[in-house]
Amino acid sequence: MRREKLLKIVQTHEAVESTLIVYGRRYVIDFEMSTEAGAATVRSAWIIRKDETFPRLTSCYVLAE
C-alpha cells in the first residue's frame, strides 16, 4: 500500500527543484502520510540524471517534527 501511495503522490504533488549536482537535477516532494500507526510528513527525493528524461527515487524518509 505504501508504494502505491508514493506513486500517486508523484502524480498529484509538485516536485520542487532542490539542487543541481554533477549527475543531474535533484527534486523533493513533501507530503503527509497516514497509517494505522499514525501520521507524519514524508520527504521523497528524486533525481533526473543528465542523460535521462525520467525521475529516479533516491530516498524517502519521515521528516523530524
Q: Name which residue leads in pLDDT, 57 or 35.
A: 57
Helix (H) or strand (E) holding 10: helix 2-12
Percentage of the chain beyond pLDDT 70 is: 98
With the C-alpha atoms ordered 65, 44, 1, 14, is the resulting torsion angle positive or negative? positive
Domain ranges of the chain: 2-62
pLDDT in tens, 14-31: 999 998 899 999 999 999
pLDDT score recorded for residue 44: 95
34 pLDDT exceeds 90? no
pLDDT for 3 beyond 90 = no
Nearest to 58 by CA among 12, 37, 48, 30: 48
What pLDDT score was predicted for residue 49?
96
